[in-house]
A and B are shown apart, each in its own frame.
Chain A
Amino acid sequence: MPASTPKPLRLFTGIGSWLLTVAITLLGLAALTFFIGRVLPIDPVLAIVGEKALPETYERVYRELGLDQPMWVQFYDYVAKLLRGDFGISYATSRPVLTDLVNFFPATLELATIGLIIGVLLGIPMGVVSAYWHEKWPDHVIRVVGLIGYSVPIFWLGLVGLFVFYYLLDWVAGPGQLDVFYVGVVTRITGMILIDSALQGEWDIFGNAVRHMTLPALLIGYYSLAYISRMTRSVMLDQLSREYILTARLKGASEFQVVVGHALRNAAIPLVTVVALSYGGLLEGSVLVETIFAWPGIGNYIYSSLFAADMNAVLGGTLVVGIVFVFLNMLSDVLYRLLDPRSREFGR
């Protein structure tokens, strides 16, 4: 970009190209789900009319679905429908897929958010400790804890957790969001059980929900902790080797002041990106966790739709998580620019 471009215009073209990137990525996402849903060897007509349909019926549905149109017309229709919020009808629940997704999304969001909070609260201090005592024993311990989180199949850890903490020790409640006799007592406001029960003052239900949520939230928290502590460690290692740290020490600042007040403060900007990105990962990672804990979220919805051969629902769920994913990516990008004065100064 030439340096002579006036500043407001530069900002404008920056936003313009950024929006274009978002649009292209979303279009690409739609193209992927379109490809999976229409082009792969599964016959959408047979899914509706059944195996024994008359040829005329088959022919009519074939045309009604627009399958006789060229591929690009079909894709255009598909995108146009998506833009209108039409994700198709779920064969299993016979409701619009979007309605189903709106129903199931809050539970996933609640679980992933609490998991992320656990991950941040534990992961960042662990990363700082690890970087400060680089190559000493605290670093080794924390790195191994992180590596285990990277290597463990999360659905298996969930099963083991249920066996130990629910069956053997009875410290937490079993699968599901609430005990059976509490289900349906709280009126649905946000769809997030902790918030809904607290708003209505049903504190025993709140407590029950906490007991149900503890294990899956800790699992997801561990999963994000592994990533966050690792990234914090590498960012902090980089900061601690800079010269301004030496300057701060020479000035006589306390070690705590040097590490937290100077190094962590500077590390915070890249870490915001890390946290935003890991949030997207958690939404996806909760698919497997939700199936283990019978958690009524999007992951469980997709899982049960798979068994009903309900591709509209599967693809709709994939699309929604994908869209959230893309927006989180973009959000982390925006936050980075807002927080780091240097990236504002020089543009892209």
Chain B
Amino acid sequence: MSVETMDSKRALRAARLTELRRFARRFFRNPLGVVGLGIVVLLLAVAAFAPWIATHDPYLPTLSDRLAAPSAEYWFGADELGRDIYSRLVHGSRLTLLIVGLVIVTSAPIGLVIGAVSGNAGGWIDAVFMRVTDVFLAVPKLLLALAFVAALGPGIVNAALAITLTAWPPYARLARAEALTIRNSDYVNAIRLAGASEARIVFLHIIPICLSSVIVRMTFDMAGIILTAAGLGFIGLGAQPPLPEWGAMISTGRKFIFDQWWVATIPGAAIFIVSLGFNLLGDALRDLLDPHLRQRQ
């Protein structure tokens, strides 16, 4: 008996490994997806090793070098306080990841649980939850986030909270759709007859089914979150000075756009490249994971 289960476990693991390998092979055939993955890995590496990669202290002003042009000393120039833009960019990658991380770890689980519970329960619970979701889907996201941070007060955590407030509904929709299709399927009814609680069905059967679509959705979302966070930072509602948040850096560089173009353009280029990376990766993952697309091919 135990030998048998060990064997079947090993077989399962081997099967998963081949599946993973096949997945990787198909992924690496898509050059744009590989570029996206490369950008994301690079972002993670830069954030992880920021203190070693940066050449200057990101907070230390050198007033004699105010607005210095890009040079051997300051690779991307210096900002209005003479701080090295390259080093601030490198340290800012941590803030970008912090915001994205905060939003994703809150919005995806909230949305998934709401959607899965709602779809599984049906009836008035479903009706109420879906009305609320529809309201959130129907209002302008950026403006809602903006008003929310304006009331709460600026800051990274508040900005992340505000973006979460607008980011969970798509996950709820997704999870509900999956829940509706499987809640009365034979195998779920079998589990139910065997005495499984509704909570067990939601967390162990419905939510896992949503995961592949959620991963695709999350990857796309990250690009959107980065842009929204940068927009809030640009307006002055995100990270506060002297934090090297990329959107806020553009906002200070805006005054010098004509004569010292590097102060504003370089952080913007960083935002653009990173969000392009997540979009490319999301595109490639969707081609691989989306069950609807897979059927068509």
Contact = CB atoms under 8 A, between A and B. Distances in A.
A322 B142 CA distance: 11
A189 interface: no
A326 B140 CA distance: 9
Given A41-B151, A153-B271, A314-B146, 9 more contacts: A28-B135, A29-B138, A32-B144, A147-B283, A153-B250, A153-B275, A156-B230, A159-B254, A311-B151
A49 interface: no
Interface of A: 21, 24-25, 28-29, 31-33, 36-37, 40-42, 143-144, 147-148, 150-153, 155-157, 159-160, 162-163, 167, 241, 280, 283-285, 287-288, 291, 302-303, 306-307, 311, 314-315, 317-318, 321-322, 325-326, 329
A113 to B, nearest CB: 17
A329 B138 contact: yes
Contacts of B138: 25, 28-29, 322, 325-326, 329
A148 B147 CA distance: 28
B143 A318 contact: yes
B61 interface: no
Contacts, number: 141
Given A315-B147, A318-B144, A321-B143, A147 B230 contact: no
Contacts of B146: 287, 302, 306, 314, 318
B161 to A, nearest CB: 11
Contacts of B148: 36, 40
B105 interface: no
6 contacts: A28-B136, A147-B279, A157-B268, A163-B261, A318-B147, A322-B140
B276 interface: yes
Nearest to B135: A28
B234 interface: yes
Nearest to A323: B139
Interface in B58-115: none
B142 A284 contact: yes
B143 A153 contact: no
A348 B261 CA distance: 55
Contact of A159 (B153, B231, B235, B264): B264
A306 B237 contact: yes
B288 interface: no
A36 B150 CA distance: 9
A29 B283 contact: no
B276 A148 contact: yes
A26 B220 CA distance: 28
Contact of A36 (B147, B227, B258): B147
